[in-house]
Amino acid sequence: MRLATWNVNSVKARLPRLLDWLAEVRPDIVCLQETKCSADAFPAEEVGALGYAVAAHGDGRWNGVALLSTAGLDEVTLSFPGEPGFAELDGVGAARPEARAIGATCGGIRVWSLYAPNGRTVGSPHYAYKLDWFAALRDALQAELAAGPVVACGDYNVAPTDADVWDPALFAGSTHVTPAERQALADLRALGLHDVVPTPMKGPHPFTYWDYRAGMFHQNKGMRIDLVYASADVAGRVRSAYVDREARKGKGPSDHAPIVVDLRP
């Protein structure tokens, strides 16, 4: 079984690239993030022509997640139990959960596509929301792990270690690298989830994100913030995992590259 996760940074803008990539790489299960479209507007027909069942969760503004599968798509869940929202988004104080999580059972594995909040600046309400979101995710995944195999993939917007950013000194005091954010990841691993670290296609670091500006991609000045967290029974089946850096090249790419994981039967 081949599983992949990719922050596409707008599925409509990236649709030709996505379709070509799906046809070439042929993953069985795909977790997409930052689709930036409503569920009704997701290009399910185009993706379906390649043999994929589709489940999408989006509000049409930003965020947005989806699951594509040729291995079954059952028990679809939009958002995870207890997922917090951010009150300022609708201007009336209601903390509605954003479109940041979708789960389904695919090929006997409970798969989650996750797009964690950015956090913006340390100490801001957005940062507090990010930490609250991770705390709720921990509780939700603890319950999922008790029920069977789990893979939680996506853009976590946290670099697990200093080795996962191209220059740690430049990120000092910024989000994505704070002790509290990294502790949130450690709390997920403490549940029994394993960080499936992919092999890089260039250089020693398996970066998955490079800013569009100033030639960052070509200089390999990136971050590893897209992660595959798997329960022990799934992690033990991993045959290989790699960052598909080729998908970040060319005209009009996402600023993220996909991670592709091959599992033994």
Task: Give me the residue spans of the domains in the chain.
Answer: 2-263
pLDDT at 94: 57
63 annotated among ligand-binding-site residues: no
28 classed as catalytic = no
CA distance 42 to 118: 23
| Beta sheet of 109-115, edge-to-edge order | 74-78, 101-106, 109-115, 150-155, 226-231, 193-195
> Is 220 labelled as part of a ligand binding site?
no
Which residue shows structure tokens 């993030």? 33
pTM of the model: 0.96
Strands 150-155 and 193-195: unpaired
Residue 228 pLDDT class (50, 70, 90 cuts): very high
User: Which listed residue (155, 164, 226, 244) is catalytic?
Assistant: 155
Instruction: Report the topology of domain 2-263.
Output: Deoxyribonuclease I; Chain A (3.60.10)
Alpha carbon distance 265, 252 (integer Å): 36
Average pLDDT over residues 185-201: 97
- Interval 72-95 mean pLDDT: 82
The chain-wide mean pLDDT, for the chain, equals 95
Of 58-62, 119-123, 148-152, which gets the smallest average pLDDT?
Answer: 58-62
Catalytic residue among 28, 52, 209, 256: 256
Q: Taking the CB of residue 234, how many other CB atoms lie within 10 A of it?
A: 25
